[in-house]
Amino acid sequence: MSKITRFSVSVEDDLLEKFDRFCKEERFATRSEAVRQIIRDTLTRRAWEGKTHEAAGTLTLVYDHHRALLRDKLLAVQHDHADHVVATLHVHLEHDLCLEVIALRGPADKLQQLAAQLRGLKGIFKGELVMASAQT
């Protein structure tokens, strides 16, 4: 764990009131916790805009498993990008509904392209990519 540094921030009273309300609603233990998370989120978002930044993420898909072609395509695309697919978790939600969480790792732009390709397949009901920086 890296060393903690304290710094002070000047902010208008009304903005601080709003921020404190936000911290309470989002159940942050302290203002510092909230600020740290907001800084990390902002830096992660920025990093994702940089194409070659090393990133990690999860792609969550919900789909109809009775579409045999879809299952085949999902597997084929993942095998084509085996260097970026770290692991998959498959959950049988209902008789014909599957949830799949695919852990990805690699350059941000490659992961976004791969997620778009998978999410765009016919028969996917929901697809959401959650991104994280693979670097601190």
Closest separation in Å from C-beta 61 to Ni ion: 11
**Tokens (6 digits) for 81:** 């990008």
Closest separation in Å from C-beta 98 to Ni ion: 3
Q: CA–CA distance from 101 to each of 20, 42, 62, 67, 127 (Å)?
A: 34, 24, 9, 18, 10
Closest separation in Å from C-beta 111 to Ni ion: 24
**Tokens (6 digits) for 122:** 């016919």
Among the listed ranges 59-67, 103-111, 112-120, 127-135, the one in contact with Ni ion (CB under 5 A) is 59-67
What SS3 state is found at 29?
coil
- Indicate the residue among 106 and 127 with the shorter CB distance to Ni ion: 127
Q: Binder to Ni ion among 24, 46, 66, 92 (CB under 5 A)? A: 92
Residues 6+ apart with CB under 8 A from 66: 96
**Tokens (6 digits) for 29:** 């233990």
Residues 6+ apart with CB under 8 A from 87: 102, 103
What SS3 state is found at 126?
strand
- Indicate the residue among 78 and 112 with the shorter CB distance to Ni ion: 78
Closest separation in Å from C-beta 67 to Ni ion: 12
Among the listed ranges 2-10, 24-32, 75-83, 97-105, the one in contact with Ni ion (CB under 5 A) is 97-105
Q: Binder to Ni ion among 70, 98, 115, 124 (CB under 5 A)? A: 98
Closest separation in Å from C-beta 60 to Ni ion: 14
